Amino acid sequence: MARYIGSRWQQQGLDQVHFVPYQVLLSYPSPTIPNLIKILDSAGQVVWVSAAKQKPLYAPEEASPDIPFTFIGYSAPANVTGDVVYVYYGREEDFDFVAASGVDISGKIVLARYGAIFRSNIVEMAEARGGIGVILYSDPEDYAPEGSNFVYPHSYYMPPSAAPFGTIKLLDGDPLTPYYPATESAFRIPEDEAPLPKIPAQCISYEDAWQILSRMGGPAAPEKWQGSLNVTYNIGPGLRESGWSLNLDVNNNNTMTTTYNVVGVMTGQEEPDRYVVLGNHYDAWLFGGLDPNSGTAAMLELSRVFTQLRNETGWRPRRSLVFCAWGAEEYGTVGSVEWTEQFAKQLSDRTVAYLNVDMAIEGNYTLRTKSTPLLTDVVFESAKKIANPDPLELEAGRKSVYDTWVVRRPDPNEPGLPLMQFIGSGSDYKGFQHNIGIPCMDTRYTHDNSTIGEPQYHTLYETFALASEIYDKGFHYHTAVAAMWGDLAVVLSESKVLPFSLVKYSNFISKAQDDIIERFGPLINSQNISLEHFTNAGKAINESVTNFNKALEYLDLKSALAVRRVNDQLMMFERAFIDPRGLPGRPEYNHVITAPSKNDAYSGTAFAGLIDTLSAIEEAQEEHRNDLWRTFAHHLAAVTHLLNTAAKVLTDDLW
Amino acid sequence: MARYIGSRWQQQGLDQVHFVPYQVLLSYPSPTIPNLIKILDSAGQVVWVSAAKQKPLYAPEEASPDIPFTFIGYSAPANVTGDVVYVYYGREEDFDFVAASGVDISGKIVLARYGAIFRSNIVEMAEARGGIGVILYSDPEDYAPEGSNFVYPHSYYMPPSAAPFGTIKLLDGDPLTPYYPATESAFRIPEDEAPLPKIPAQCISYEDAWQILSRMGGPAAPEKWQGSLNVTYNIGPGLRESGWSLNLDVNNNNTMTTTYNVVGVMTGQEEPDRYVVLGNHYDAWLFGGLDPNSGTAAMLELSRVFTQLRNETGWRPRRSLVFCAWGAEEYGTVGSVEWTEQFAKQLSDRTVAYLNVDMAIEGNYTLRTKSTPLLTDVVFESAKKIANPDPLELEAGRKSVYDTWVVRRPDPNEPGLPLMQFIGSGSDYKGFQHNIGIPCMDTRYTHDNSTIGEPQYHTLYETFALASEIYDKGFHYHTAVAAMWGDLAVVLSESKVLPFSLVKYSNFISKAQDDIIERFGPLINSQNISLEHFTNAGKAINESVTNFNKALEYLDLKSALAVRRVNDQLMMFERAFIDPRGLPGRPEYNHVITAPSKNDAYSGTAFAGLIDTLSAIEEAQEEHRNDLWRTFAHHLAAVTHLLNTAAKVLTDDLW
């Protein structure tokens, strides 16, 4: 696929096309021995065994002999037998509930539902509590709300045989080369020191999950925990039949692999040393009909359009456009993180923004966009320009994707505006946003709320047919996302003055500060820790932004150096929030505002270092609180320092 | 003094003058209880006691009642009694020799000579080996070679009563706020966790040292260790008289103090957001006649000349000139390190170079300059322009300071060139060079080789008279240094293309690599660790520099953005060597090439992280070697990565 993308870019005539290799540790299922879950009776005889592969249902390629055995990336290879415990979504509060019910996870196999948090966090918590294995499935309640007849290929809902793959590595990037690029000359830590799970995990379909759930003993799970499989969901531990047990046999291998990023450049006319980076990964767990190929198609179309425009009109963007096709994203943003580690200095000095499209579509309901507050306005403006791909919406008078977005996903806190999600993590912007502090955006067309996620995500059924026959006949939604992505790239590379919304960021910070004070103020005050400097730093940003914007009105747009100066200040604003020492206990995250909470790498939480520490204090035993308060006070001072830095980078003040 | 400098700059009319405060932990002697060393007889009676203060000899101010008791900064307050051991210069090999002689430092008071290494390292090693106190003195062999009659005020040699003060803090900056600025909102670690010595130390004069040395027992020290006091120097332990002992009583206090930097700016005309920073500290242990006031005078004269030129002609530099007067340098570059921590992001993005003058003169013999290789050529060119302040040298036909420099301090490895010392540490460029990677230079006029250092350095006798009557009647040498400093500032702020010697740096790296291979090649090969990537990275820099310089010939000097682009690349070259994770075991140093060796913070050692680790391996016991080899391999990979980064920042390549 890398070769295909590279040769397309060469054909199209990008100015530079290069393959950037990394030697990384990836995880594969055994080619010969399937990963299986078995129910054993008291004599050890096999009562039931799970499917080794997902069943072909519709598209011819689903029956390909090349389909690998069902597996979870980086699961430890192991064969464990024990009692099973149902932990709902496997969130911290779910594990706590199970423990409070008197069920000890230790020595047990955990059965968890996908959908509320990042699967790596489920496995991490299971391991931390002594679990010996994890089984993950998607409940039809969340992914097949219309029953098992109205599923793929009759709809985009999840069929009973679907088993979503995924990684359970916690840290992004190559596991053996933390902080440094996995080049030939890299130093590699021993594999047993790598932050990888030590217990096996396996995904199964919901028809297989039924086999287990329908046999489970112990007390019934709470009403909320009941899914839509036709059984009573019990917590366990173990199966109803005395002496029966569950066996989990995983035969994965961690293997050193060369993964390639493909980097293509259209060199800028006036500021070739300023980059607008567009990225999408090309690796897929199986066919990747949506993830990532809907995005990859959009990127190839964009590079085609830009090169054709250049060829036909001589146009070039003011700044350079850098197209990146990432390898091994599915394993935990491996290709992009290694690249941002290798080129951190140049990217930090020169990159205006990173625009990520992981999948162009995961539905056809509305736009779903995440970004740093700095890009909110420019995304809104682009979305207003893009013709609505939905004929019913057009009929309803909503001409642009923005119009549908604001109706279907309004911002609950900002009446009249669509919801711009906070950036969080979970795709290739991680290294850009959270380590370097490059303003990032991630967009796609998404589904409605009838499912938690896109139902075929990471399964065998994420086929071209799913994209072209079920979600997007005629590829109108793909086109809309490509058009918006391209418009953003043009605006960011062509605008003389970078169209960043400093005011949005400043307001965002103030609101996040208020939220912390509202939620934790009394707790913090009880320690005589003052928040005054922290809130003053927020005000300093507000004031600095006001002054900067006022001065912008008098900017001499004819002076190349004067324009460059304000653009450099705008460019460095997001960088100001980077702490080279990282968040408390999490040196792999450097951005003190946008780093996600450690309890769920997918979601966005502002000031996660502060909030995670405060949450830990609330839950900690008395004897651990002093250390946590010290951590909090230390990090609060670091955050305050960086907020003040952000206020200063908009000036030439060195005092 | 800060106020004085600030008001001078305001009068002169710098565009911006600001005081930047930090709350830091400094060390002071007791105002009422002197620090004393006593010889006690077997009955505990005092046989002899050291001087509480240095004797007034010449300048009236030496007799001021405000002169503090003699002390060493950050010495632990303590009263200890024990046997004394003479350890020569207190280098690692000296301590090793003492141990090999069968003398155990543990429980002893160490008597060491100043002059070979940074005093903090002497105390660190004494403490690590169980020493209970340290006494530091300067031997007349090193500082009064013409005998005790030809000393201050009859010459610049050291009088018998001189006791040089100094800091023994190991880490630079405020001890309570590592890595972060000591602002009001800073988090402060508890003082007992600060990296400060836990044992007392005290400086004494050589007439007082004679009192101890003349009574010491044990075997005679080696021939080389004999100084020029008229006694046989014995190693000890202890005094000859049975039951006699040494008592060391230090009454210092560590106190939170507000120190101010003064920052003055002359705003640049075309690139106000590019800074050439000039710095000098203003604090002194006592009068600071040379250190720092010879430098402070030069800086005030420079700001006067530049503002007058601006007032009279309308001239402004292309880039901004930033004048910095640092506080608390003597305590371990406290003011400058806190400032570089506070403004690290802006300084990293915008600073072209930092030009330090700690003292303008410490002699009148020749120029002594340290720099990054990047500034070598530009310093040479400036030195050639500066008229020789030495009339005898002028008569000898040497017209410029360069001409004297090349004759009196030739580079042993580069025939025909003067010796440009490698940057090392020990003054206010530390945060700039070693943490941010800003090209730095430090210059002064220095003394000949008849003494190890400037003999009155940090003593009571470093008076205005020493500067104006002994070293520099008419202030010609001061003027020469000021002129060269100013010329460098003008060249660096005015040159359209930054005059950095990439070739020098590239050659320097190659040579340093060759040195490592020559010295440690067989050792490294014994471990099957390949140096190939490391040497290839050096070659990559060489090639990249060649290409960059070739392209420079075609640079369109009329294109402001094209010029800015190459200047940004030049500016970032030194930054490329910064590892945010720091050197092995030394996160307080980030520059992998220029950081000084951990065994002596003053000297310059290229690739100290590699060399220190290899030296440790050579000396380590077998069971510790594996860990050290791992450290070496890990750091070698980091260094290789950063060398490759340096090669790339001169390009737009992201592959």
**Amino acid, res. B470:** I
For B168, the token pair is 């023994």
Tell me, yes or no, if B184 comes closer than 8 A to chain A by beta carbon: yes
Nearest CA in chain A to B179: A581
Q: Is the peptide bond before A153 cis (omega within 30 degrees of 0)?
A: yes
Tell me, yes or no, if B643 comes closer than 8 A to chain A by beta carbon: no
Tell me, yes or no, if A349 comes closer than 8 A to chain B by beta carbon: yes
3 state DSSP class of A501: coil
Nearest CA in chain B to A186: B637
- Name the pTM for this structure: 0.97
From the CB of residue B620, how many other CB atoms can be counted at a distance below 10 Å? 15
Element containing residue B351 per DSSP (H, E): strand B351-356
Q: Who among A183, A346, A537 is closest to B649 (CB)?
A: A346
Residue A598 has pLDDT above 90, yes or no: no
Mutate to test the interface with B, among A561, A577, A642 (most CBs of B within 10 A): A561
Nearest CA in chain B to A563: B561
Residue in this structure with the two tokens 């050639």, named with its chain if needed: B384
Spatial distance between the Cα atoms of B635 and B624, rounded to a whole number of angstroms? 17
Active site residues of A: 329, 530, 568, 591
From the CB of residue A240, how many other CB atoms can be counted at a distance below 10 Å? 12
Spatial distance between the Cα atoms of B646 and B508, rounded to a whole number of angstroms? 14
Q: Who among A265, A561, A572 is closest to B345 (CB)?
A: A572
For A185, the token pair is 């000359």
**pLDDT, tens only, A515-571:** 999 999 999 999 989 999 999 999 999 999 999 999 999 999 999 999 999 999 999
Element containing residue B550 per DSSP (H, E): helix B532-552
pLDDT band at B604 (very low <50, low <70, confident <90, very high): low
Contacts of A533 in chain B (CB under 8 A): 184-185
What Å distances lie between residue B513 and B485, B497, B502, B534, CA to CA?
32, 29, 17, 8
pLDDT at A42: 96
**Amino acid, res. B416:** G
Residue B442: active-site member: no
In terms of DSSP H, where are the helices of B139-291?
140-143, 206-213
pLDDT at B378: 98
Buried-state track B188-222, b at ≥16 Cβ within 10 A, e below 16: beeeeebebbebbbbbbbbbbbbbbbebbbbeebe
Q: Shortest CA distance to B14 belongs to which of B276, B280, B310? A: B310
- The A residues from 96 to 125 touching B (CB cutoff 8 Å) are none
Contacts of B645 in chain A (CB under 8 A): 342-343, 345-346
A637/B180 Cβ within 8 A: yes
- The B residues from 275 to 304 touching A (CB cutoff 8 Å) are 275
Tell me, yes or no, if B623 comes closer than 8 A to chain A by beta carbon: no
Residue B652: active-site member: no
pLDDT at A109: 98
- Which residue among the candidates B127, B283, B329, B341 is catalytic per the annotation? B329
Spatial distance between the Cα atoms of B498 and B505, rounded to a whole number of angstroms? 15
Compute the count of residue pairs across chains A and B with CB atoms less than 8 Å apart. Answer: 145
- Cβ contacts of residue A48 below 8 Å, gap of 6+? A38, A39, A211
Q: How many CA atoms lie within 13 A of B411 on its CB side?
A: 15
As a three-state string, the secondary structure of A558-623 is CCHHHHHHHHHHHHHHHHCCECCCCECCECCCCECCCCCCCCCCCCCCCCHHHHHHHHHHHHCCHH
Phi then psi for B602, rounded to 5 degrees?
A: -75, -40
Spatial distance between the Cα atoms of A402 and B438, rounded to a whole number of angstroms? 46
Compute the nearest-CA separation of B17 from chain A (Å).
Answer: 9
**pLDDT, tens only, B117-173:** 999 999 999 999 999 999 999 999 999 999 989 999 999 999 999 999 999 999 999
**pLDDT, tens only, B68-127:** 999 999 999 999 999 999 999 999 999 999 999 999 999 999 999 999 999 999 999 999
Spatial distance between the Cα atoms of B320 and B315, rounded to a whole number of angstroms? 12
pLDDT band at B303 (very low <50, low <70, confident <90, very high): very high
Contact A116, A136 (CB under 8 A): no
| Strand pairing category for A245-250 and A78-82 | antiparallel
Q: Who among B186, B346, B560 is closest to A560 (CB)?
A: B560
Nearest CA in chain A to B183: A641
Name the percent of chain B lying above pLDDT 90: 97
B343/A648 Cβ within 8 A: yes
What's A54's DSSP letter?
P
Q: What is the ipTM of this complex?
A: 0.96
A533/B652 Cβ within 8 A: no
Tell me, yes or no, if A318 comes closer than 8 A to chain B by beta carbon: no
Spatial distance between the Cα atoms of A373 and A363, rounded to a whole number of angstroms? 25
Spatial distance between the Cα atoms of A287 and A458, rounded to a whole number of angstroms? 9
**pLDDT, tens only, A384-411:** 999 999 999 999 999 999 999 999 999 9
B652/A267 Cβ within 8 A: yes
Q: Who among B185, B263, B636 is closest to A637 (CB)?
A: B185
Residue B92: active-site member: no
Compute the nearest-CA separation of A256 from chain B (Å).
Answer: 18
Residue A284 has pLDDT above 90, yes or no: yes
Residue B270 has pLDDT above 70, yes or no: yes
Contacts of A577 in chain B (CB under 8 A): none
Spatial distance between the Cα atoms of A75 and A123, rounded to a whole number of angstroms? 9
What Å distances lie between residue B639 and A67, A475, B94, B118, CA to CA?
42, 48, 31, 26
Q: Shortest CA distance to B498 belongs to which of B401, B372, B653? A: B372
Phi then psi for B208, rounded to 5 degrees?
A: -75, -35
pLDDT band at A601 (very low <50, low <70, confident <90, very high): low
Contact B142, B115 (CB under 8 A): yes
Q: State the average pLDDT for chain A.
A: 97
A641/B342 Cβ within 8 A: yes
Spatial distance between the Cα atoms of B610 and B594, rounded to a whole number of angstroms? 12
Tell me, yes or no, if B38 comes closer than 8 A to chain A by beta carbon: no
**Amino acid, res. B604:** G
Contact A433, A594 (CB under 8 A): yes
